[in-house]
Copies of this chain bind each other. A is one copy, B any other.
Amino acid sequence: MKRGPKIRNTTIPGFKFAGIPAGIKKSGNRDLALIYSECPAVTVGLFTTNRIKAAPVKLAIKNISSGKAQAIIINSGNANACTGEKGMKAAREIMTSTAHELGISPGLVYSSSTGIIGRPFPVETIKKALPDLIKKLSPLSLKHTASSIMTTDTFAKISFKQIEIGGRKGTIAGIAKGAGMICPNMATMLCFIVTDIAINPQALDAALREAASRSFNMLSVDNDMSTNDTVMIMANGRLNNPLITKRSPDYSIFKSALNEISYDLARMIAEDGEGATKLIEVIVKGARSKSDAGKIALSVANSMLVKTAVYGRDPNWGRIMAAIGYSGIAVNENKIDISLNKVKLVSNGMGTGKEKTARNALLTKNIIITIELGNGKESARALTCDLTEGYIKINAHYST
């Protein structure tokens, strides 16, 4: 699991990438990306549960049942949401034009958008940039794709892993964008994962759902869920391994790698939350069920009071207790232990008086809040970041 310069030359057999500035963003930054597989890839996806969905998301939900894709075109700077019939037409046009330029079937092209809601979609700008985008396709350009999908992100998010499948070295790589509007069950989160491993659609779908439930769906920046969330994975089978099914011995190796990639990307999204100075991981243990543990972890991760306390290095465990209590899950107050970066602040529901030590422990960039409920054996973890003046500045003073 690496990120940054070390993965600069990541390649995934059979995949090419591009990312260019197409003029959608006023800043002149990269804003148009393409992921292309040399052959049709087994493809599955998960999409926002927001009742109001962006045009490309509506189309993707319709098309994903085919289980195949060869290209995904992604733009930042405009969400193509709340754009009416015009927006739907624009999304279709982008997909058709991309297919035409690539010389593949339109049914194998997906589009994805992120950015401001409700502005006319710059369909002509994108169409004009298509030839250049396609010309730039290269096995070495994953990093450009990753930076093209950024909105208020401060760094490109790439995760990469190699695993042995049937004696061969298979590759899984993922890119993501996050920053604001991140809440349980995704948000303005786009994530695209590619692999050369051969796997059937049923197994791929189940693996993606498991991975998302433990990563992107346990992630909260500000509790706002967007109209555009998308997680897609393309598996082009170029590794020529024996096809993985749910019954293959290799399936668990694949799942575990996908879980790692997804959690790694989710962690980067939390770390890069708008205005964040600290990454917060909330670990809940000793719950009666995984679902109970997850609900409590998210309740704490969503608490603005907990997030501001971490920012201010205030070991205010009362706010954590309150958030546990309003999760709706039955807990026994007198059995609860709470630690901040391994400093035990609460033992059996009562303060230990170690606030001073905890305050020092809060100096680190990564904060782990561990909650032991003493009710059972199940656990879960959630990811979030601190809440700072930076978040307010970004969201009050810029239209995003």
Contacts and interface: CB of A to CB of B under 8 A. Distances in A.
Interface of A: 49-53, 79, 81-84, 116-119, 180-181, 183, 222-227, 302-305, 308-309, 311-312, 314, 316-319, 321-331, 333-334, 346, 349-351, 387-389, 391-393, 395-400
A184 to B, nearest CB: 10
A372 to B, nearest CB: 15
Given A83-B350, A318-B118, A308 B391 contact: yes
Contact of A52 (B51, B309, B316, B322): B322
Contacts of A180: 305
A319 B400 CA distance: 9
A331 B224 CA distance: 18
Closest 4 CB pairs of A and B: A117-B318, A312-B396, A52-B325, A308-B395
Nearest to A185: B326
B322 A181 contact: yes
A388 B330 CA distance: 34
Contacts of A302: 223
Contacts of A329: 51
Contacts of A117: 316-319, 321-322
A396 B224 contact: no
Contacts of A318: 79, 81-82, 116-118, 227
Q: How many copies does the complex hold?
A: 2
A81 B328 CA distance: 18
A350 to B, nearest CB: 5
B396 A322 contact: no
- Which of A79, A180, A225 has the most C-beta atoms of chain B within 10 angstroms of its own C-beta? A225
A118 B308 contact: no
Nearest to A79: B318
Nearest to A52: B325
B51 A325 contact: yes
Contacts of A50: 322, 325-326
Given A82-B318, A322-B50, A305 B181 contact: yes
* Interface of chain A, main secondary structure: loop
A293 B180 CA distance: 26
A306 to B, nearest CB: 8
A274 B119 CA distance: 33
A82 B349 contact: yes
Given A312-B395, A350-B82, A389-B392, A326 B225 contact: yes
A396 B314 contact: yes
Q: Give the residue among A226, A305, A351 with the most B Cβ atoms within 10 A.
A: A305
Contacts of A319: 117, 224
Most buried by B among A49, A308, A322, A349: A322
Contacts of A305: 180-181, 222, 224, 395
Given A180-B305, A312-B397, 15 more contacts: A50-B325, A51-B331, A52-B333, A82-B317, A82-B318, A117-B322, A118-B317, A118-B351, A224-B303, A224-B304, A225-B322, A308-B395, A309-B395, A388-B392, A389-B392
A271 to B, nearest CB: 18
Contacts of A333: 51-52, 82
Given A322-B226, A324-B52, A311 B118 contact: no
Contact of A392 (B311, B322, B324, B399): B311
Contacts of A330: 51
Contacts of A304: 222-224, 304, 391, 395
A321 B388 contact: no
A226 to B, nearest CB: 6
A130 to B, nearest CB: 26
A181 to B, nearest CB: 6
